[in-house]
Structures are given as structure tokens and as C-alpha cells.
């Protein structure tokens, strides 16, 4: 029997509750909700790292960041690293394609050192990294991508409407950071372009070949600049502030003061967080209306992704492919999006960043019943699941396991890790979720691990970088404190629970690779 096809759909930096099926009340996401209704919805899926490159490397290798070596942004995944695309190709004859955002190698690459960034410059569509075909896009016409080249050659008038990533430049109606009212027609925005290119690839496929297609949307990652024609979808003035945001600056500071020092230091601007957003951004400066406008932009982008996904699924049906195609939908990590008074991402291990949407609609011909799985799973389990869909054994190099298709799997824990990208920051976090408890340990800060970029560091407003000795940590009872406002790490009443979870976390960590990979670029 021919293996089933796999359509792997990802967004970038999307929160768990962005989807209606996960409790979202703003964006209309009927397509994703339909996948959840007809398939399996995972209520506790966690990313293994809360920034792009480590998480994406985990998705394709089935390994934890400490094993594949991409422990932070700016580290290139070795092209000879084992991956699921190569395994599917060699052992089951799959054709493979990636349409949209890759980010397996640094995108800040002015000299085009990396093959990922030379593809478009060379007018090449692959093969590369065991994808037979690639058409790449990032957040607007920046970097060396097929989308940027296409827009520059065919619609240069659209190039200046995008906001610029990692600048914190204010825009929109409120002067919110990295917001722009983009005049680009919707049909030329990268969300619809990614769907168009996916449909074109499906139309050109060979009928007798199973395929693995990754449709990778750059949104709703910042900058937030959807087509201005769509702004009426979510009027920002009507939005409520997120429930995870304390309602005054004083309340924010009281909550953050219970956590390790870099939380409050970032909010107040004494420490500048360069690892998950613009280093010039100071969270305390973000006004309520600015957050409302950013939230509206994010949900507009969520709706556009949902509609673009619907077009691709409709094409699958028209081509007669749907009965034999498994569809997966997830993201690489979340966004703080106002929680705890913060925005963007970084070394802040709470649900807003770690918990992600994950849906799996098995091929209808497979006969798998719809289900909701509450047990914890990870993105490290995706590659092993792709193997199972293809009818292949999970290879030894993968560290995850196929996702459960029904409740009762007995899974108990999921782990997320953080290692600083920059030598001057040197933070190292290890986090375990189990039984509605979240525990994070802090390893001693380092000064010799991570990237060193003298030009960047000459202009980087570092501020006061907190240093940790390994005794610090965080402990949250998410059943009674879902927004992680109250750190119980030093509470004597919870010492036994803390010690038990820490022991479980340490015992569950993989040994990791002995040869750290170099940080080659800031992003």
C-alpha cells in the first residue's frame, strides 16, 4: 500500500489560544477548528525551545536542541544532520517540499555564506537539506528569499509598506513597535503567496509519488504589518487587555519581583533582551492601546493564515488527495503578547511561549477517530509521527515518540530548554511541565558560551545583565495560578513538591552533544 501523504502546516510565533478550538475569542479560525473537529487536538503541546531556529531544527530531526546542537538562534543546523525528510525519501520514496519560512540557517547573512540564503540569489529551487523543492519567505521582503525576489521584480512598489523586524520602530495608529498599516494588496502578501506556491507544487506533483510538504507561514511573528485592506477585521479599540497582564505598572512590578532578576530588569529597561525581540524595546513603555493594536494585527494575521490554509485544503480535495493525506498544524513557539506586562519572547518560560497549538487530522482513509489529548506532548514528537504515518519504524536518531491518537497514553512530562545566544548574556534554563505544575531551574550563568559579535555589541544597549549562581528557579501551580503570577520556588510549603519536580527534570534531561555548534550570526 502506498504511504499516506503529509501536509505539515506551521505558523511562526503563534499562541495556543490563537485558535477558536483552543478557546480563542478574537480571530475566526474555522479551518483550523475543522481540523480539530475531525482529528486530534492536543491541549498540552510544548515547544522544546521558545525561539525559531532551535524549534524548527527539533521539528525535522526529532531531537532535543541539546542533541541536534541548535540551542539558540544564529546556529546553523548542519546540512548532514539526520532529518525526517531524508528518512522518508530513502525508505518510502517520498517527494519533499518546503514553501515559506525555513530558518535552518541564519537569515542575517549579508555575504550569503549559507546555502539557504543563496537559493533565491541563484534562482534555484533546490534540492537542499533533503527538500526536493523550496520556495522561501520570511517576514516581508527582507533577506535573500524567493518571495523577496519575486516582489522586487514584479511589484517593487510594495516593498516599502512593510514594517522592519527587530527595530522597535513605532507605527500604525498608536505608534506601537513594529506595526505598520501595509498598503500591499492581499494577494501579494506573503501569507497568500505561500499558499499559492503550495497549490502550484501540488498541481505539478506526480500522481504515483507519496509526498511530504511543509507549508510554513511567516506570520503572526513580528513585525505586525498585514494588508491595510484587512484592518477592519479586528477593530483594535474594541479589544480587551489579556487576562495575563496585571492592570497597572505597580501590579506588574510586584508580580515580576517574585521571579528571577531578569524578568523585572527587562520590564524596567535595566536589562535589554536581545534574544527574542528588538534590544531597544522596553516593555514598561508599551501602552495599553499599543498592545491592543498589536493584538488586533496578530489576530488579523491569524485569520489570513486560516483562510490561506483553507484554500490549500480545498485544492487537496479537488485533486482527490484529501482521503490519503494527513494534515498537521502547529507553530514553532508562542508570544508573550502582553502576559506579565511583556511582549515578544526570550528566556521567560511560561505558557505564552511554551504552550503551542497542535492539531493532527489523520487521513480519512486511516479511520482514526477524533479525540482530545490532554497529556503533555512536544514538537520533538512530530518527526517520529511522520515516520509512523509513512509506515516506517522510528529511527534510532530520533528522541521523541509518535503522538498518541487518543487519551490514556500515560505521558506525564514535557521539557523545554534555553541557552543564551550571546556570550554576554549567558543564561541557561531547564523547564519541566507535569501534572499542571511548571518548574524551571537556572544553571549557573556563563561568560564563555554563545556568540560574540563586536560590531553589534558596540551599539547594543545591554544594561544590567543578571547573573545566576544555580540556586534560582521558578515553580508555578498552573491549576490555581494559570498566568504564572506567583513564584512558589522559595515557599517552604511547596519545598517538597519543588524538589520532586526538579529531580524528575534532571533525571529526564538528555546528555546532549559533546561538541557545541558555533553561533554564526545574531539571527
Half-sphere exposure of 26 (CA within 13 A, CB side): 26
Give a yes or no: residue 291 inside a domain.
Answer: yes
Using one digit for the tens of pLDDT, what is the confidence trace for 312-340?
999 999 999 999 999 999 999 999 999 99
Using one digit for the tens of pLDDT, what is the confidence trace for 23-43?
999 999 999 999 999 999 999
Half-sphere exposure of 60 (CA within 13 A, CB side): 30
Using one digit for the tens of pLDDT, what is the confidence trace for 405-448?
999 999 999 999 999 999 999 999 999 999 999 999 999 999 99
Interval 104-131 mean pLDDT: 95
**What pLDDT, on the 0 to 100 scale, is given for residue 127?**
98
**What pLDDT, on the 0 to 100 scale, is given for residue 459?**
81
Q: In whole angstroms, give the CA distance from residue 359 to residue 361.
A: 7
- Give the closest residue to 95 by CA, choosing from 201, 251, 245: 201
Instruction: Give yes or no for residue 1 having a pLDDT over 80.
Output: no
Give a yes or no: residue 326 inside a domain.
Answer: yes
Lookup: cell for 372: 482530545
**φ, ψ of residue 344 in degrees (nearest 5):** 70, -135
Give a yes or no: residue 515 inside a domain.
Answer: no
Domain that holds residue 221: 5-508
Q: In whole angstroms, give the CA distance from residue 81 to residue 78.
A: 5
Instruction: Give yes or no for residue 462 having a pLDDT over 90.
Output: no
Q: In whole angstroms, give the CA distance from residue 69 to residue 130.
A: 19
Instruction: Give yes or no for residue 392 having a pLDDT over 80.
Output: yes
**What pLDDT, on the 0 to 100 scale, is given for residue 89?**
98
Distances (CA, A) of 244 to 250, 305, 337: 15, 25, 9
Instruction: Give yes or no for residue 143 having a pLDDT over 80.
Output: no
Instruction: Give yes or no for residue 254 having a pLDDT over 80.
Output: yes
Q: In whole angstroms, give the CA distance from residue 126 to residue 115.
A: 10
Alpha-carbon dihedral angle through residues 466, 468, 471, 473, given to the nearest 10 degrees = 50
Q: How confident is the model at residue 157 (pLDDT cuts 50, 70, 90)?
A: very high
281: domain CATH number?
A: 3.40.720.10
For CA atoms 15, 324, 190, 307, give the dihedral sign. Answer: negative
Q: How confident is the model at residue 463 (pLDDT cuts 50, 70, 90)?
A: confident
Q: In whole angstroms, give the CA distance from residue 218 to residue 137.
A: 7
% of the chain exceeding 90 in pLDDT: 95
Q: In whole angstroms, give the CA distance from residue 443 to residue 167.
A: 31
| Beta-sheet strands, E only, within 226-376 | 325-331, 355-356, 358-361, 371-373
Looking at the 3D structure of the chain, how many domains does it have? 1
Give a yes or no: residue 38 inside a domain.
Answer: yes
**What pLDDT, on the 0 to 100 scale, is given for residue 506?**
98
* First-last CA distance in the chain: 43
Give a yes or no: residue 120 inside a domain.
Answer: yes
Q: In whole angstroms, give the CA distance from residue 23 to residue 13.
A: 17
% of the chain exceeding 70 in pLDDT: 100
**What pLDDT, on the 0 to 100 scale, is given for residue 343?**
98
* Average pLDDT along the chain: 97
Give a yes or no: residue 518 inside a domain.
Answer: no
Q: How confident is the model at residue 386 (pLDDT cuts 50, 70, 90)?
A: very high
Q: In whole angstroms, give the CA distance from residue 449 to residue 347.
A: 16
Helix, strand, or coil (residue 171): strand
DSSP 8-class letter at 460: -
Interval 77-105 mean pLDDT: 98
Lookup: cell for 264: 523585572
Neighbouring CB atoms inside 10 A of 319's CB total: 14
Q: How confident is the model at residue 457 (pLDDT cuts 50, 70, 90)?
A: confident
Neighbouring CB atoms inside 10 A of 447's CB total: 10
Interval 348-360 mean pLDDT: 98
- Give the closest residue to 359 by CA, choosing from 29, 25, 38: 38
Instruction: Give yes or no for residue 456 having a pLDDT over 90.
Output: no
Give a yes or no: residue 340 inside a domain.
Answer: yes
Give the residue, 475 or 208, on which the prediction is more confident: 475
Give a yes or no: residue 108 inside a domain.
Answer: yes
Q: How confident is the model at residue 455 (pLDDT cuts 50, 70, 90)?
A: confident
Residue with cell 488527495: 321
Using one digit for the tens of pLDDT, what is the confidence trace for 465-507?
999 999 999 999 999 999 999 999 999 999 999 999 999 999 9
Distances (CA, A) of 456 to 278, 449, 459: 12, 17, 6
Instruction: Give yes or no for residue 198 having a pLDDT over 80.
Output: yes
Helix (H) or strand (E) holding 115: helix 115-121
Residue with cell 511554551: 354
Amino acid at each position: 500500500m502506498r504511504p499516506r501523504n503529509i501536509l505539515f502546516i506551521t505558523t511562526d510565533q503563534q499562541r495556543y489560544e490563537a485558535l477558536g478550538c483552543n478557546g480563542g475569542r478574537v480571530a475566526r479560525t474555522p479551518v483550523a477548528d475543522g481540523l480539530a473537529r475531525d482529528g486530534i487536538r492536543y491541549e498540552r503541546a510544548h515547544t522544546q525551545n521558545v525561539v525559531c531556529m532551535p524549534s524548527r531544527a527539533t521539528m525535522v530531526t526529532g531531537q532535543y536542541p541539546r542533541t541536534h546542537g541548535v540551542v539558540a538562534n544564529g546556529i546553523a543546523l548542519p546540512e548532514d544532520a539526520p532529518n525526517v525528510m531524508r528518512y522518508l525519501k530513502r525508505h518510502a520514496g517520498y517527494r519533499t517540499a518546503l514553501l515559506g519560512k525555513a530558518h535552518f540557517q541564519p537569515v542575517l547573512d549579508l555575504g550569503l555564506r549559507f546555502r539557504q540564503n543563496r537559493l533565491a540569489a541563484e534562482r534555484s529551487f533546490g534540492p537542499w537539506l533533503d527538500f526536493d523543492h523550496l520556495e522561501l519567505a520570511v517576514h516581508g521582503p527582507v533577506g535573500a528569499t524567493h518571495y523577496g525576489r519575486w516582489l522586487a521584480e514584479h511589484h517593487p512598489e510594495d516593498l516599502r509598506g512593510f514594517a522592519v523586524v527587530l527595530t522597535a520602530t513605532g507605527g500604525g495608529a498608536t505608534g506601537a513597535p513594529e506595526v505598520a498599516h501595509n498598503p500591499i494588496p492581499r494577494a501579494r502578501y506573503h501569507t497568500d503567496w505561500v499558499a499559492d506556491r503550495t497549490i502550484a507544487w501540488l498541481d505539478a506533483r506526480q500522481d504515483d509519488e507519496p509526498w511530504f510538504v511543509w507549508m510554513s507561514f511567516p506570520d503572526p511573528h513580528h513585525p505586525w504589518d498585514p494588508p491595510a485592506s484587512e484592518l477592519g477585521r479586528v477593530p483594535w479599540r474594541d479589544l480587551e487587555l489579556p487576562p495575563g497582564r496585571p492592570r497597572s505598572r505597580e501590579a506588574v512590578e510586584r508580580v515580576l519581583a517574585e521571579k528571577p532578576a531578569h524578568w523585572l530588569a527587562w520590564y524596567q529597561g535595566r536589562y535589554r533582551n536581545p534574544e527574542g525581540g528588538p534590544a531597544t524595546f522596553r516593555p514598561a513603555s508599551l501602552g495599553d492601546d499599543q498592545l491592543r493594536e498589536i493584538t488586533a494585527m496578530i489576530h488579523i494575521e491569524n485569520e489570513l493564515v486560516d483562510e490561506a490554509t483553507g484554500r490549500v485544503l480545498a485544492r487537496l480535495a479537488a485533486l482527490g488527495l484529501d482521503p490519503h493525506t494527513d494534515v498537521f498544524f502547529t507553530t514553532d513557539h508562542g508570544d508573550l503578547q502582553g502576559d506579565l506586562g511583556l511582549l515578544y519572547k526570550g528566556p521567560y518560560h511560561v505558557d505564552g511561549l511554551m504552550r503551542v497549538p497542535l492539531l493532527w487530522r489523520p487521513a480519512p482513509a486511516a479511520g482514526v477517530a477524533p479525540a482530545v489529548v490532554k497529556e503533555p506532548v512536544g514538537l520533538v514528537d512530530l518527526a517520529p509521527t511522520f515516520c509512523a504515518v509513512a509506515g516506517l519504524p522510528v529511527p534510532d536518531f530520533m528522541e521523541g515518540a509518535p503522538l498518541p491518537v487518543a487519551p490514556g497514553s500515560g505521558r506525564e512530562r514535557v521539557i523545554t530548554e534555553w541557552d543564551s545566544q550571546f556570550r554576554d548574556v549567558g543564561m541557561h534554563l531547564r523547564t519541566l511541565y507535569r501534572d499542571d505544575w511548571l518548574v524551571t531551574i537556572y544553571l549557573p550563568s556563563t561568560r564563555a558560551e554563545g556568540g560574540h559579535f563586536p560590531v553589534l555589541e558596540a551599539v547594543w544597549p545591554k544594561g544590567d545583565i543578571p547573573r545566576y549562581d544555580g540556586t534560582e528557579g521558578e515553580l508555578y501551580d498552573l491549576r490555581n495560578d494559570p498566568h504564572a503570577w506567583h513564584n512558589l520556588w522559595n515557599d517552604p510549603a511547596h519545598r517538597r513538591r519543588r524538589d520532586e519536580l526538579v529531580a524528575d527534570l534532571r533525571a529526564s534531561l538528555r546528555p546532549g552533544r559533546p561538541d557545541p555548534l558555533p553561533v554564526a550570526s545574531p539571527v
